[in-house]
């Protein structure tokens, strides 16, 4: 995935709009073009479908380390501000602390920045419709190698990266003093300096004893070289941001809730319909089994009434006990179709004797019973209404169905 690398430049007094440098990197962190600079909002068109990494000025961030033993990360986050309180000029309540990965012997790199600066950067980014994945100190994007320190000389400032998670910024005139002090304080002093001149004049006199490697050019990808190892991301704690996908989906949250509610109601409705149909199916199966037992009482074990009924009919036909073994199936099929297609008609009992089917049913009115009779006659059968008793709002009727017309 391509990356948009945006470096926010230091904000001079009186300047309200943030200015920045930006560069697009491919998935191998190689530059695509030479990069541009200008107001932060001009980088907005390059954001689409790219990972966004924002680098903030080194003057506004303090890089340090702390050694703390903690049972969990929550306890660690609560302890870090007070472990560093004596080394900080500002009230810890006004500062934001971001942790890097745990090192040896419970050492943690820490980036400290004023909450007011975080709020200013994030508000400017929101106004420019830029939503960062990473917000990191610019020092941690510079190249670093074992035994080598990196120095970037710009017109009004100098940046020094002394370790994976350490470095400082200063005015160019103060660089020799601060660099000598850093060399005295570190346990593993640098063997050489890599100096990048980015719009600056000749560097000042530097401490002796170092093999200076001066780089005349300042490549556009200079601040991308060190990103192979993820830097400390300042978007932690109260500044932690949700994923971009979640942000895109947020406007649809209530629609999703309503859709989920509708699906739940639909599922309940389907479950009710299924239970109702299952009860009807079981009732039909019970009646079929009852008709089978009445027609063939000699059969003790019923597994599949339909198949067993066909077997019994074939037996009767072969033994001459029925003129046509298929009579029952024909009568059942036609009767079932006639009853289910009629409105307000429910089957009560069914009996088969002497090639005739006797059906007891309940209907909403006499016309519904007559409709069943007509449908049976339309199927080429003889159908006769034997009785029809009206009680209240229903009609209890008995029909006699057999082969033949009339």
36 falls within a domain: yes
Q: Is residue 166 assigned to a domain?
A: yes
Same-domain status, 311 and 223: no
Query: How many domains does the chain divide into?
Result: 2
pLDDT at 321: 46
Question: What is the layout of strands, in order, in the sheet containing 345-353?
Answer: 345-353, 356-363, 394-403, 381-391
Are residues 74 and 203 both part of a single domain?
yes
CATH of the domain at 156: 3.30.420.380
In angstroms, rounded to a whole number, what is the distance separating the alpha carbons of residues 93 and 75?
17
Query: Are 134 and 40 in a shared domain?
Result: yes
pLDDT given at position 209: 67
- Tokens representing 94 are 């006004």
Q: Is residue 263 part of a domain?
A: no
Strands 192-197 vs 211-215: parallel, antiparallel or unpaired: parallel
**C-alpha dihedral sign at 308, 311, 317, 320:** negative
**Same domain, residue pair 146 and 285:** no
CA distance linking residue 398 with residue 360, whole number of Å:
4
Q: Which domain holds residue 111?
A: 3-241
Examine the domain organization and report whether 36 and 116 are in the same domain. Answer: yes
Residue 246 lies inside a defined structural domain of this protein:
no
Q: Are residues 196 and 129 in the same domain?
A: yes
- Residues 308, 217 share a domain: no
Residues 215 and 290 in one domain: no
| Torsional sign, CA 336, 338, 341, 344 | negative
Whether residue 195 is found in the same domain as residue 327:
no
Question: What is the structure's pLDDT at 85?
Answer: 86
Within a domain: 313: yes
Helical H segments across 110-243, by residue range: 115-127, 175-185
Q: Using alpha carbons, select from 12, 40, 17, 15 the residue that is nearest to residue 4.
A: 40
Pairing of strands 3-8, 51-56: parallel
Say if residue 357 is in the same domain as residue 227.
no
Q: With a cut of 50, which residues of the chain have pLDDT below it?
A: 245-246, 320-325
Q: Give the pLDDT confidence score for residue 188 in this predicted structure.
A: 75
Q: What are phi and psi of 96, to 5 degrees?
A: -115, 135
> CB–CB of 338/372 below 8 Å?
yes
| Residues 231 and 311 occupy one common structural domain | no
CATH number of 350's domain: 3.30.1360.100
């Amino acid at each position: 995935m391509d990356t948009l690398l945006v470096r926010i430049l230091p904000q001079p007094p009186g300047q309200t709009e943030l200015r920045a440098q930006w560069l697009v990197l491919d998935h191998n962190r190689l530059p695509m073009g030479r990069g541009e600079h200008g107001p932060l909002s001009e980088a907005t068109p390059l954001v689409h479908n790219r990972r966004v990494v924002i680098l903030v000025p080194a003057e506004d961030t303090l890089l340090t380390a702390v050694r703390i033993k903690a049972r969990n990360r929550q306890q660690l986050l609560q302890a870090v501000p007070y472990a560093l309180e004596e080394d900080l000029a500002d009230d810890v309540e006004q500062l934001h602390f971001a942790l890097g990965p745990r090192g040896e012997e419970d050492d943690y790199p820490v980036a400290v920045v004023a909450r007011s600066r975080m709020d200013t950067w994030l508000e400017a980014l929101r106004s420019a419709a830029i939503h960062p994945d990473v917000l990191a100190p610019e020092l941690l994007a510079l190249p670093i190698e074992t035994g080598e320190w990196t120095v970037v000389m710009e017109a009004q400032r100098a940046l020094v990266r002394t370790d994976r998670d350490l470095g400082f910024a200063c005015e160019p005139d103060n660089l020799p003093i601060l660099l000598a002090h850093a060399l005295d304080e570190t346990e593993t002093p640098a063997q050489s300096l890599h100096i990048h001149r980015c719009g600056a004049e000749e560097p000042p006199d530097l401490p002796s004893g170092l093999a200076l490697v001066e780089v005349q050019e300042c490549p556009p990808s200079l601040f991308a070289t060190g990103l192979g190892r993820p830097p400390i991301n300042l978007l932690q704690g109260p500044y932690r941001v949700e994923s971009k996908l979640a942000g895109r989906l947020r406007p649809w949250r209530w629609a999703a809730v309503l859709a989920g509610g509708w699906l739940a109601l639909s599922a309940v409705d389907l479950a009710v319909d299924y239970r109702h149909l299952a009860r009807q199916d079981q009732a039909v199966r019970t009646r079929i089994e009852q008709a089978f037992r009445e027609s063939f009482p000699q059969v003790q074990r019923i597994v599949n009434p339909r198949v067993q009924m066909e077997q019994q009919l074939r037996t009767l036909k072969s033994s001459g006990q029925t003129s046509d073994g298929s009579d029952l199936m024909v009568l059942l099929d036609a009767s079932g179709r006639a009853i289910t297609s009629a409105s307000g008609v429910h089957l009560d009992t069914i009996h088969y004797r002497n090639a005739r089917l006797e059906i007891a049913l309940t209907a909403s009115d006499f016309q519904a019973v007559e409709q069943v009779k007509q449908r049976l006659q339309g199927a080429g059968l003889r159908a006769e209404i034997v009785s029809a008793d009206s009680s209240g709002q229903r009609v209890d009727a008995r029909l006699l169905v057999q082969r033949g017309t009339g």
